[in-house]
Amino acid sequence: MFSLPLLYTMEVWWAGFTIQPERLIVYVFATFTLLLGYNRFAGMRHDATWLEVAIDSIEEMGLGLLLAAFMLFLLGRIAADMTASEILGKVVMEAMTVAIGVSVGTAQLGGGGESDKQDQGLGMVGGDGAPHFGGQLVIGFCGAMLFAANVAPTEEIMVIAHSIDSWRLLGLALFSLASSGLILFFSEFRGAKQSVAPGGWPSVLGHTLLAYSTALVASSMILWFFGRFDGEPLITCVGQIIILGVAGALGASAGRLLLQ
């Protein structure tokens, strides 16, 4: 579900063919690190050891590779007459987001009773369900990656960044901050009151800034990976980050509450 748009995105197919090997390695390592964090703080088993978390993350990456290869084959995006590097690049490009989707889907839809859901993951400390800061940060980053990754490969981000006015960029940044704050404070998502409301407005402001900062970092990493910064002036790079940050901010705030 989370990775389906990427499987139908032409820019991702081309990126898998043209991406530099070192960036692909960084992508795999970053995805594995993200899976470790998510499974540690929001996985199905709250009593899992780091070894078990690592094994789960490896299994999810393996499933991601298999599912991505299967779907790309059915869509006709990989074939026997292609080079091994082209096939591998396309499969790995798609598989990493699929792996994150597998991890999130397993944690959220894997079943278990209500008590199991309340105790799910190590991001919760104590008996009141209050999220640990590290867990919130990892889950927010995961949400930002899932939302932003579906938009970042498209050419539209670059086109908008080249033509947008500076005051519109400021408006997008303010809109991202406002929407994050509204989602975190006023939404009825599970965990909203426990994670934000107890501290009042200072807590809301702090969580909002944290969510938006997480979104900007995630957006920067994704854009760099897809080569959107190559040969571009600084102002264009900043514009791309802010534009993609709208999707990332929604993921970091709403996703943090939905995925925990």
Domain count, the chain: 2
Higher-confidence residue of 47 and 226: namely 226
Read off the pLDDT of residues 13-58 as tens digits, 9 standing for 90 and up: 888 888 888 889 999 999 999 899 888 877 666 677 888 889 989 9
Q: How far is CA 246 from CA 22, 67, 116, 224, 242, in A?
A: 28, 29, 33, 17, 7
For residue 171, the model assigns a pLDDT of 97
Name the token pair of 235: 């102002």
- What pLDDT, on a 0 to 100 scale, did the predictor assign at position 235? 94
Asked if 188 and 252 sit in the same domain, the reply is yes
pTM (predicted TM-score): 0.82
Least confident of 62-76, 122-136, 140-154, 171-185: 122-136
Do 132 and 249 share a domain, yes or no? yes
Q: 251: domain range?
A: 126-260
The C-alpha atoms of residue 198 and residue 211 are separated, in whole angstroms, by 17
- Indicate whether 116 and 137 sit together in one domain: no
**How many Cβ atoms are within 10 Å of 175's Cβ, its own excluded?**
13
Residues 134, 94 within the same domain: no
Does pLDDT of 115 surpass 50? no
Q: Does the pLDDT of residue 2 top 80, yes or no?
A: no
